[in-house]
Homo-oligomer: A and B are copies of this chain.
Amino acid sequence: VIIQAPMAGSQGSALAIAVCKAGGVGSLPCAMLSLEAMRAEILAIQAATDRPYNVNFFCHALENLRPPMVSFHFGLPSPELVDRIKKMGAQILSTATTVEEARWLEARGVDRIIAQGVEAGGHRGMFLTDDVTTQLGTMALLPRIIDAVRVPVIAAGGIADARGVKAARALGAAGVQVGTAYLSCIEATTSAVHRAALAAPHHTALTNIITGRPGRGIVNRVMRELGPIRADVPSSRAPRSLWRRCAQRRRSWAKVISRRCGPGRTSARTRTCRPPRSPARSRQSN
């Protein structure tokens, strides 16, 4: 299965629908959506496709829209909420960036674990550690997590085309999550300045100075001048309020923050939205 990585600020239901229609699992990022906007977006997906889709939260609540999959970043919400989501019949996915995080998630009933290698664009999902030196590349992280848990593991980070899908399967992944390759699709809401940066040669780095939490983005002036990783950034509570403000002042922030990017190839098709071809038959997720 190929899951389109949820990318708050760069996409809405249109990309998720296009991915579902192309045979993948489209994701709707809800971090920057009001409850009403989220509801409208999910209804749009449900109206457009019968394929499984995924809704993603940093750590939010969910209404009774019965999505087939719900994914989280930065751990999990309260056990009561996890229970309610499971009782709705949804599969729960969450991100692990270390073996310890994978074990923690499995112990709390997650149905699938997304092993996020350090190549991945966007926020690191790390939640049991603040130490970025613990963050391994996909080639090393994925087999370690697969060996440590029993639930299926989805590979994320550095997977940009069919070769990466095949490699992830060779390492034992049950599926892959792909983000950057989708950023240039016409169905994505990626800003013009972000698209231009993706199309030009670029260099990505982990940084914590944009939102307070480490994430990979295209190196820009603020990262170069302040240094990509600093100890004196605001506490890890900052991101949520930042993202909230961001949802209100989106235009002015777009230039600064919405350049998330993995190191993936930038030759992603901009006309048709299609996930990287899987070398083997792609299996329906359910």
A interface residues (Cβ-Cβ under 8 A, vs B): 117-119, 133-134, 136-141, 143-144, 147, 157-161, 163-164, 166-172, 203-206, 219, 228, 262-265, 279
Contact = CB atoms under 8 A, between A and B. Distances in A.
Contact of A133 (B117, B169, B228): B228
A137 B157 contact: yes
Contact of A136 (B119, B159, B279): B119
B143 A163 contact: yes
11 contacts: A119-B137, A134-B203, A137-B140, A138-B158, A140-B158, A140-B160, A140-B262, A143-B164, A144-B265, A166-B170, A167-B170
Contact of A172 (B119, B139, B163): B163
B137 A137 contact: yes
Given A119-B137, A137-B158, A140-B158, 12 more contacts: A133-B206, A133-B219, A136-B158, A138-B140, A139-B168, A140-B263, A141-B263, A163-B171, A163-B172, A167-B170, A169-B170, A170-B279
A141 B206 CA distance: 16
A147 B263 CA distance: 14
A140 B264 contact: yes
A159 B138 CA distance: 11
A210 to B, nearest CB: 14
A232 B197 CA distance: 32
A136 B140 CA distance: 13
Nearest to A138: B139
A140 B160 CA distance: 8
B139 A158 contact: yes
Contacts of A137: 117-119, 136-140, 157-158, 263
A136 B171 contact: no
Contacts of A158: 136-140
Contacts of A161: 143
A160 B133 contact: no
Contacts of A168: 139, 167
Contacts of A264: 140
B160 A171 contact: no
Contacts of A133: 203-206, 219, 228
